[in-house]
Amino acid sequence: MRSFWRLLQAFGVVILFQTAFGAGVALAAQNRSVVNCTDGSPYDYTAAELAACGVPTDPVADITSLPGGGQRYDYEGPDGSVFSEYLPPAGFDPETATNAQLAEYALPPRPSDFDALLIWQQRMQDVHFYQPPGFITGTVPGIPNVMTPPPFSGSFSNLDGGYAGTGAANTFTFVQAGYYEPTIGGSHCTTNTNAEGTWAGIGNTGYWFGQSGTYYTDGGGGHFAFAQVWNPSVVQKYSVAFFTVSPNDYIVADVQWTGSGFSGSIQDGTKNNEIAPWSYSTGGSSGNSGEVFVEQPMGYNLANFQTWTVWGSFYNNGTPFNQAPGIAPHTLNGAGTAKTNGQGSQGNFTVLQTDCN
């Protein structure tokens, strides 16, 4: 749908969509007499239908069998880079897996902090793994697959509300946030699409950032789980949509800096405890910052998310995020405003939407 695609354009200029497997999806597509690729979710369309709408699709480039019995699905970007998704074997139990086995499937590492370990164990109980799709889309109408506009010279800081820590390279190797997906209220902003994103991320100012989270756009686009990797020096982003989520679902998002790229996962603890692990290689340097943010996408009004409640956030080996080096609140005061409240002992906090001008 238009609003869904507009939001992903806001999140990134290199845009990758994913389509879930399922007979119900195919049947729904077959029963439509007119297809214009603007109704419902992109997940509802076949590759042929998207192609007819001017949206080319790329099949999975490679499916690699991993030593532990699972699979890695590789999707090659237009510049030759690879975004990967992972599917462990049937019966795989993260709670009994070794740290090496967790890393093989890009799953969050077992923390050493006692409180964080309890949360990790709760996450991994009866987990269900997202099925990687057979294809992704590389473009949507009017949005080129690759764009390299002039380097961004402004500041993103006024578009984010929440907390960020800062340090030297490799200070942050893991960031996780557990939160409730916001319920969107009415808004007096009517001049543009209303949108918001919520995520955990790791980055390096002027270089590569990796993020896992959820986003919302109005006009019927709804709420989606996503991952993105982006480089603000060239305003280049890869944004990948996974499954839909609902308001008040309990979401856990995490991202890891591996030293040569990012991995992470997004999990809906309310709906079948579904988790989607992913990875993307960047090279270079990162880990200078860790963030847990609600964001106003550039060029869009801030959706009235009302209250974003983070019930726990951690970094590295499970240390509460409120103890992160250089930790400081960010106040969202771009084309919308929000107030960030103080952090609790487990990195819990709230952000309150206050206006939309």
Task: Tell me the β-bridge partners of 13.
Answer: none
pTM: 0.83
User: Where do the domains of the chain lie?
Assistant: 78-134+158-355
Average pLDDT estimate for 66-87: 88
What CATH number belongs to 78-134+158-355? 2.60.120.700
CB 156 within 8 A of CB 164: no
286 vs 89, more confident: 89
Q: Distance between CA 240 and CA 211 in Å, rounded?
A: 11
Average pLDDT estimate for 118-137: 88
pLDDT digits 0-9 by tens, 213-226? 998 877 545 788 88
Q: Is 21 exposed, middle or buried (0-12, 13-18, 19+ CB in 10 A)?
A: exposed
Query: What is the per-residue pLDDT for 224?
Result: 83
Query: What is the per-residue pLDDT for 3?
Result: 33
Q: Distance between CA 205 and CA 207 in Å, rounded?
A: 6
Q: Does the pLDDT value for residue 19 go beyond 50?
A: no
pLDDT digits 0-9 by tens, 325-347? 999 998 887 656 788 888 888 89
Query: What is the per-residue pLDDT for 235?
Result: 54
CB 151 within 8 A of CB 233: yes
How far is C-alpha 129 from the chain's CA centre? 16
Residue 209: CB partners within 8 Å, gap ≥ 6?
Answer: 201, 202, 203, 229, 230, 231, 232, 286
Locate tokens 């990162």: which residue? 286
Locate tokens 């880990």: which residue? 287
Count, residues in the chain:
357
Query: What is the per-residue pLDDT for 103?
Result: 96
pLDDT digits 0-9 by tens, 177-193? 999 999 988 776 665 67
